[in-house]
Amino acid sequence: MSELFQLSAVEAAQLLQAKKISSVELTGNVINRIEDVENRVQAFLIWDKELALSQAKVVDEHRMRGEDLSPLAGIPIALKDNICTQGIRTTAGSKILYNFIPPYDATVVNKLKQAGLVLIGKTNCDEFAMGSSTENSGYHTTSNPWDLERVPGGSSGGSAAAVAAGESLLSLGSDTGGSIRQPASLCGVVGMKPTYGRVSRYGLIAYASSLDQIGPFGRTVRDCAALLNLISGHDGMDSTSTSVPVPDYTKACESDVKGLKIGVPREFFAQGVSGDVDMLVRAAIEKLCELGAEAEECSLPFSEYALAAYYIIAPAEASSNLARFDGVRYGLRTKELAGHISLTEKTRNEGFGDEVKQRIMIGTYALSAGYYDAYYKRAQQIRTLIRRDFDRAFEKFDILLTPTSPTTAFKIGEKSDPLAMKLADVCTLPVNMAGLPALSLPCGFVDGLPVGMQVVGKPFDEETVFRVSHTYEQASLWHTSRPLL
């Protein structure tokens, strides 16, 4: 079995549990894959061969002793580089944190360690998760494994590309406005944004605290369900973490949608969504109807304001969160020392990229005296109306289906216009504004490039999201396709 890196995480876990392969063998195969393709894909900011193999060896020793291990013990995983890892450099894709080594692990990292997963490395991302292409990384741009001249999406582009390229079987990303689902769509993998509060944000370097959520990438829906099992649950270190019971999501992966009512929001198929994407998503909805579901068009009228409201709320929260990077306590410090104010100004000017500076300035302006009510307060009111739209829709429907991204992956450097770039998240932003769970999974290809369908659920109803997604996945073969590298 020379191409173990091609397996889904659940397939590999079954082989590990049956002792047909070892974690060292699996991890070594994935590392060989990284050595073969990473110079072209550039999914990682840092990866550590020796650390990964040593972790895998420990798991194998526990398994040989007959110890009770988690279902994913021994599976290689990559982490987006805005998730803190004790003793391992964590930059959030920014030069201002080029030398930052966290003194603690994020809660999700602690859970992964306890479950025996093998950390391969930290993946590239748009700086502080601000972007839709990874072109805003302070270090390099990641390429899409399906076409190396195109972007993998963002901001979790490295995490999506690593799974698509076989450089990791699983990965974690963060999703503030679509940063898991959009790259999952463009890279042809499965990506899940859980309900806000379902997964602890402790140790996630904050962008917009009321929107950020950590979630899984995998080759299959079941992969994401198995990983979400491990990272979900209440955490006393995160005041926004909820105590809602966590079910076994893998049990929700049943091929049965009979009687389920699907809502198809017309606003998500409007101008900007390419004809090919529209056609493939509608074909996927028809497939689910053939399998027993019922679909009906519906309306979420305030979703058209989500983009404008998001780009006030998120930058406002970023303005506050990023004020901590001042050159005093950690991270970059300018060498031009001329008083405290000058130190902070020069450090932030040298350390932050253009996109981050732009969003900080927008956010600071929106929060300033005389403009707060006109911008920030009004945007929050729109956010409430968006949530009410979803609430009304879910009174009638069990699930909503939409495109994930309005187009397939665009070429690196193609979208120099900031507005054109921001429109890449037009289908995903409303879900974050409402705090809902949503998953993207492959539903076809256009000119060799993947297309994703977004499955949106009720708050804390990830089970139905997984059920619908798994049913469609098993009725199609899109998830079995692999890029040729």
Q: Taking the model in full, what pTM does it have?
A: 0.97
Catalytic residue among 8, 22, 23, 80: 80
Q: Which domains does the chain show, CATH number per domain?
A: 4-257+438-480 (3.90.1300.10)
The region of weakest confidence among 98-102, 114-118, 335-339 is: 335-339
pLDDT over threshold 90, residue 154: yes
Q: From the CB of residue 291, how many other CB atoms can be counted at a distance below 10 Å?
A: 17
pLDDT over threshold 80, residue 403: yes
C-alpha 164/C-alpha 169 separation (Å) is: 9
User: What is the per-residue pLDDT for 420?
Assistant: 79
Measured between alpha carbons, how far is residue 152 from residues 122, 182, 319, 361 in Å?
16, 9, 27, 27
User: In the beta sheet, which residues pair with residue 304?
Assistant: none
C-alpha 194/C-alpha 437 separation (Å) is: 4
pLDDT over threshold 80, residue 384: yes
Each residue's pLDDT tens digit, 131-147: 999 999 999 999 999 99
Catalytic residue among 22, 132, 143, 155: 155
Whose tokens are 């409402």? That residue is: 434
Each residue's pLDDT tens digit, 351-371: 999 999 999 999 999 999 889
User: What is the per-residue pLDDT for 110?
Assistant: 98
Catalytic-residue membership of 80: yes
Strands 118-123 and 76-80: parallel
Catalytic-residue membership of 137: no
CA torsion through residues 470, 476, 480, 482, sign: negative
Each residue's pLDDT tens digit, 70-112: 999 999 999 999 999 999 999 999 999 999 999 999 999 999 9
User: What is the per-residue pLDDT for 342?
Assistant: 87
C-alpha 221/C-alpha 184 separation (Å) is: 12
Average pLDDT over residues 180-194: 98
C-alpha 454/C-alpha 465 separation (Å) is: 10
The alpha-carbon radius of gyration of the chain (Å, integer) is 21
Strands 170-174 and 214-218: antiparallel
Catalytic residue among 179, 185, 303, 319: 179
Residue 255 pLDDT class (50, 70, 90 cuts): confident
Average pLDDT over residues 187-192: 98
Number of Cα atoms under 13 Å in the Cβ half of residue 187? 39
CA-based max dimension of the chain: 70
pLDDT over threshold 80, residue 16: yes
Average pLDDT over residues 190-194: 98
Order of all β-strands in the sheet with 118-123: 44-47, 118-123, 76-80, 170-174, 214-218, 190-193, 438-446, 449-456, 399-403, 261-265, 294-298
Each residue's pLDDT tens digit, 208-229: 999 999 999 999 999 999 999 9
User: What is the per-residue pLDDT for 1?
Assistant: 53
C-alpha 419/C-alpha 149 separation (Å) is: 21
- Give the tokens for residue 75: 């599976």
- Give the tokens for residue 105: 């692990």
Torsion of CA 358, 361, 365, 367, to 10 degrees: 110
- Give which of 429, 432, 433, 441 is closest to 401, Cα–Cα: 441
CA torsion through residues 460, 464, 466, 472, sign: negative
C-alpha 171/C-alpha 121 separation (Å) is: 10
C-alpha 390/C-alpha 400 separation (Å) is: 9
> Which residues, 6 or more positions from 401, have their beta carbon under 8 angstroms from its beta carbon?
262, 263, 264, 281, 284, 285, 288, 295, 453, 454, 455, 456, 468
Helix and strand element counts for the chain (H, E): 15, 11
C-alpha 130/C-alpha 391 separation (Å) is: 28
Percent of the chain with pLDDT over 90: 92
Catalytic-residue membership of 95: no
User: What is the per-residue pLDDT for 416?
Assistant: 78
Average pLDDT over residues 234-250: 97
Each residue's pLDDT tens digit, 258-285: 999 999 999 999 878 999 999 999 999 9
- Give the tokens for residue 303: 């979703």
C-alpha 283/C-alpha 19 separation (Å) is: 41
Average pLDDT over residues 170-176: 98
